[in-house]
Structure 1
């Protein structure tokens, strides 16, 4: 995927929501540390943040004044190319601690002794200790603040994520159309990866591909098991397009399903679609979970998933609101939900669908082609 223009990257930030959260927090500044939040605020997708956790990128967003982006010097050209932020500072890896440079920036902005929000969940204990020992300030956790900002997507974000999901489904269907009995999980998975690349993905964020009895595993790596007639095929896959991710699950079957699996899938999908259509603004994440459990129970099947969906966006994994029974966060217009309850009738098989839903002022828009899941995707015998 071509890099997003730096001026467009700024428009992808929900600035109104960010300002409102900062006003409520009484913070003087927020420091973003995680890949997803530095990407959100800067527009630059620095992939080494994921693979090399000591190589920090940090973004200082003061309530008053302009933001500053702190990156390793080998990432300077990328930061300047992709980010709308003009003030990019660099440190030399191993020669200088990134936290030391962060402290210089904080002092320069007059934040010593102030109230500073920082992502505690991402920053390691060692770096956090260096921070609090390096400068006197009232350091507050800002993880939930940034999550609340990102939870409601801008129209530009919705467009990019919608496109990522469409391309992911196209990749799944193209790869499975070229697969047949006798192919191994590994071979089919590689076709899916190749198709994602053809669709413009920068890489694969995750891939689960399992057949037959392997479908019971939540995150099964594709192996050497060969697909046979009547076998179920399950995938949960996500690609990355410039830091924006997809996350989709689909079911397939080699040839015709057995009468038993056809009946199980039909009951599961009915409950799944029922829950898709329940999504709307104002309901809590917990109420969606409980509604789904009742929809399963009404059809004589059990819901065993600890959660049934989550939001999506940037380089990380699941984002809030996560649909679990203890989350009282309410759904709001502009939220994106990837709904994914699973059904495991026994120790030989499991069913899993996942579609993208946009919460709207009057209800919800199921973005992905949920109607195409009425039947499992057929694989040639």
Structure 2
């Protein structure tokens, strides 16, 4: 799951032991919270426990599921087009359905998988609370609740607490991306001139960040104007520096 470092950057991805540690730590918290399993539906959660990385999460039309049982490795229940990608991770148990299938988009397969798990406490954890979303149709979640023997329980805070504590490998990656971003901000005045637009400057900054080793810059805000900027969430915008 890791590759040779590029240009002195940390290895891409994480070692299998990283995912094993994350799973074991979460399962210990699940035991305390009396959860038989946790159902993951969003890209950050699924990637955190599996290492599965695909741009296809940009499409909202297909649900993806990963189950973290109280013991053992996670189980993936996913559309068939993700089979090869998930098999390239540390996950052994990958179950698929032919998607899209509006009449039953994985719900029967997911319910069967959950019902086959040992039910010690009768509770299934789902991220339902603050700072969480459920990445599946609401109606499908209702159907799932009707078809399984487990009751839904919010585990949003449990998952957040697990991710609060960073491993040394995570810290290394965070440090690296912060350093390369800081270096680009420091260099910004050297390739910025009055008369250029925020969009031109932002475009160049994105290109430079990619050249320094960043994977992407999904959140790049730009603001300028007499007296400073008036927000921290918009832009880059068309007006040129010094032109207002």
TM-score under structure 2 normalisation?
A: 0.82
Per-residue CA deviations over 1:173-228 (Å, capped at 9, x if unaligned) read 33442111111101000011101211222222211011115711221111121113
Question: How many residues are aligned here?
Answer: 227
Q: Which residue of 2 aligns with 1:377?
A: none
- Aligned to 2:229, what secondary structure does the other structure show? helix
Q: CA deviation at 1:149?
A: 0.8
Mapped to 1, the partners of 2:73 and 2:85 lie a distance apart of: 20
Q: 2:172 maps to what in 1?
A: 159
CA distance in 1, matches of 2:188, 2:95: 44
Query: Could you tell me how far 1:42 is from its partner in structure 2?
Result: 0.8
| Structure 1 position 19, deviation (Å) | 3.3
Give 1:1-381 correspondences, 5 Å limit.
3-4=12-13, 7=16, 9-10=18-19, 13-15=21-23, 17-49=25-57, 51-81=58-88, 83-95=89-101, 96-111=104-119, 114-120=122-128, 121-123=132-134, 124-213=137-226, 215-228=229-242
Note the residue ranges of structure 1 that are not aligned, 5 or more in a row.
Answer: 232-381
Structure whose residues are more often helix by fraction:
2
Q: Give the Cα separation in 2 of the matches to 1:195 and 1:117.
A: 42
TM-score, normalised via structure 1 length: 0.54
Q: How far is the alpha carbon of 1:104 from its aligned partner?
A: 2.0
C-alpha distance in structure 2 between counterparts of 1:74 and 1:23, whole Å: 33
Given that 2:197 and 2:240 are in contact with CA atoms closer than 8 Å, whether structure 1 keeps it comes out as yes
Name whichever structure is richer in strand by fraction.
1
- What residue ranges of structure 2 are gaps of 5+ in the alignment? 1-5
Q: 1:130 to 1:54 in 2, by over 3 A?
A: farther
Tell me the distance in 2 between the aligned counterparts of 1:155 and 1:227.
Answer: 42
Q: Does the 8 Å CA contact 1:6/1:43 hold for their aligned counterparts?
A: no
For 1:92 and 1:26, the matched residues in 2 are separated by 33
Cα distance change on mapping 1:74 and 1:130 into 2, 3 Å: same
